[in-house]
Amino acid sequence: MSFTPGEEGGLSQAAPDVNTQDLFDCPTQTVTAGNTPEDQVLSVVDEASPSSMSSFEMLDTESVPVPYQEVQPHWFFCRRADDNTSWLPFSREDSDKLEHACIAVREKMEEIVIAVDGERYDVHVKERKRYAVYWEQAPTEVRRCTWFYKGDKDTRFMPYPEDFSRSLEDAYMIAVTLDEWKRKLEFPTGETVILHNPKLIMQYQPIGLQDEWVSSPSEQTRPRTVKRGVDNISVEILDGEPEKVDHLVFMVHGIGPACDLRFRSIIQCVNDFRSASLSLLASHYKRAQQDGQVGRVEFLPVNWHSALHGDATGVDEDIQRITLPSISRLRHFTNDTLLDLFFYNSPTYCQTIVDTVASEINRLHALFKQRHPEFSGAVSVVGHSLGSLILFDLLTNQRTGSEARVLSGESGHLNCETLEQALTRLGLQQYLDTLQAENLDLESLVLCHDSDLKDLGIPLGPRKKILNYIKRKWLPEDCKTGAVHLVPGLQLPPQDTLTSDHDGNQCSGSTTQQSQFHRAQSVTSAVDYEYFDVGIGQVSIDYPQLAFHPQTFFAFGSPIGMFLTVRGLKRIDPNYSFPTCKSFYNIYHPYDPVAYRIEPMIVSEVELEPMLIPHHKGRKRMHLELKDSLTRMSMDLKNNVLGSLRTAWQSFARLPVTALPPVVESETTTERNLQETQASAAVTASAKREEKSADFWTKILEWPKALHKHYFEGVCVDTENSIAADQTEQPEVKVGMLNGGRRIDYVLQEKPIESFNEYLFAIQSHLCYWESEDTALLLLKEIYDKLGVAFEQPQQ
């Protein structure tokens, strides 16, 4: 039987050459004997560490024999990243389900599929493979693990193959049953496992498999530590995710295939965000979870980059042909990431992007409903960077149920006239067979352009008649005059071509429907510059409809404000809101170079500071609190100093009280009393000024003591009171209906190290949202506030 190193760094599935019955008959003899290469390896092992062997014997003599107990298995799955291979444990709940399924497979000899990891993966137990459900990913190996090893340079324990583990377990059972230790298990590949005692088991590599650069035999035979059972190794095993799903969130990535500085995919970043949300639910909604009010929030990634850069479009090959050969790595990075911005501004590839995003979201939603038929919660969407702009354009161009009925009714009214009647009216009935051969009806004819009719062989004169008929009978009135449509609530700079009513208001409700109807009729791969919408979306793009109405739209590091301004939009009407989504949050890091604000486009007359997102531990970061306190203190100090100087100057400018002119004898008693009263009042006022000045200088001298008391003795002050005080300082301002009258712009708190150099952490700031617990907590609070679940700040 031959053995080779396994691909995971362990041993291949093989068993040691050992006879179990011989061990029972001759418990004191070793497994093999004779002058073989294995014996030479064992002699090197024995000579390499005599002191350790004596310590093993000492431990062995002190150990108390324990009865044999079968090892408890735990299931692991393999994760490969570049050249690194790691084995990660399933949760305890999933491992138990896999173990029960494994027993059933042995009995029925049929394949059983078990859903794991929140039903995002399916494990084929008999095949020992794990398959992703919602996204494309190569299947990964799973393993029923009982024995583990770790070398000196390894950071974690690695599981042995199942056959090898069974061989070790058999030898361990014999040693425990007979209470005979210091046995050596040898394998045909030269590996040697020595069972010194139940607590100490070592594996020695053969000399030929060691590094050729090492010199001494002791380095060549450095052993591996072997452990039995998952309870004896240091690995974190979670209990499992809650089965109940309260809310579903789709997350759309930005430019490029990588989403963070570690060049990880959207799948891995969303996994981190999901893990952070589960941790925050356990800490900030602990009581609600215990009462069964809170389950979990499911986050699913939406990948559109692979569809754009795949073989279907061929855009990568076209770009590669015109790319210069110099600085190839930088040009490859630019082609793979930054060009996505230009692709989205192109009508041709923009249509591919929005179709991919909408279809992928609808596919994931249908698949999730299929796997969770009991789900009755709401759905939200999250967009990062360019992904937020894609979602913004999609949500702006969604149609409500009433608008959809209006469109269908209008279309039905226009179809009362058949294609034959229309051609007869135009005197072009000879082309009826040509159009019917292409399965064109009157509604399909509206979608045709001059180039399409020319391809059908229709001459120029009849083509112009047909296009003029379409212009007069089908297009809205403002399109006939070449007017520009506007999405309601979004305002462009003053132009002569803008339509307005007598009051100067842009776009009524009927214009909205006409604009959307015209958008549906102007679908083409090329830009028709005669009639097109200059709304919030791209020109000549048919925006698909989502299969649900999102509850909330969260934008991370979003350039929406910049793109709206570049498109010519000056401001957003305060009454404007998404047709199917009533909540919108613009979340950004203060140093994010790609992020822009939204609120100044709605409320331009008032300068509003963005809402500060509280730290997930309950208060501002220390350096921000210190900065705000010092700012307030400096302002108070400045005001008090100026006030004191003003008071002192006024006191010097006045005449002293004792310098009042003497009383003339002719003055009456009443006048004398009046002068005495004024003098006493002046003395009293002077005394009050002196007392106020003394209090001021007392405060100046005591402010360091107050600062120390506030920051170093009052750290344990109730955090909720601190947050409430900060909120009371900022008056509530309504900023339109885009978020239901609530604030839209929310800014994260920068870390202390980030405040030293804004430029150094700029790129990292744009990619920090996937691992931001503050961002995840804001999403959870918005979701569960609408479910009526109270938020509780954990005690620090």
Give the active site residues.
385
**Whole-angstrom Cα distance, residue 297 to residue 245?**
6
**Whole-angstrom Cα distance, residue 208 to residue 476?**
83
Tokens, residue 509: 């409700």
Q: Of 268, 320, 321, 275, which Cα lies nearest the Cα of 298?
A: 275
∠ CA(457), CA(462), CA(467), 5° rounding?
105
Element (H, E) at 158: strand 158-159
Element (H, E) at 602: helix 599-602
CB 31 within 8 A of CB 186: yes
CB 143 within 8 A of CB 88: no
Q: Where would I find the H helices in 209-335? A: 217-220, 266-284, 286-290, 305-308, 315-321, 328-333
**Whole-angstrom Cα distance, residue 608 to residue 29?**
85
CB 191 within 8 A of CB 205: yes
Please tell me the total number of residues recorded for the chain in this structure. 796
Compute CA distances 60 → 31, 185, 199, 565, 583, whole Å: 20, 18, 9, 78, 68
Q: Strand 158-159 relative to strand 584-588: parallel, antiparallel, unpaired?
A: unpaired
**Whole-angstrom Cα distance, residue 554 to residue 581?**
11
Tokens, residue 769: 């949202």
Strand intervals (E) in 175-310:
183-186, 192-197, 200-204, 224-228, 245-252, 296-302
For 791, the 3-state DSSP assignment is: coil
Contacts of 365 (CB under 8 A, 6+ apart): 248, 250, 379, 547, 548
User: What sign has the CA pseudo-torsion 494, 498, 504, 510?
Assistant: negative
CB 175 within 8 A of CB 168: no
Bridge-partner residues for 194, per DSSP? 184, 202
Q: Strand 745-747 relative to strand 584-588: parallel, antiparallel, unpaired?
A: parallel
Tokens, residue 309: 């850069």
**Whole-angstrom Cα distance, residue 74 to residue 99?**
8
Three state DSSP letters for 674-714? HHHHHHHHHHHHHHHHHHHHHHHHHHHHHHHHHHHHHHHHC
Q: DSSP letter for 336, please.
A: I
Cβ burial, residue 16 (10 Å; 0-12/13-18/19+): buried
User: What sign has the CA pseudo-torsion 484, 486, 492, 493?
Assistant: positive
Contacts of 518 (CB under 8 A, 6+ apart): 475, 476, 479, 485, 531, 533
**Whole-angstrom Cα distance, residue 89 to residue 238?**
9
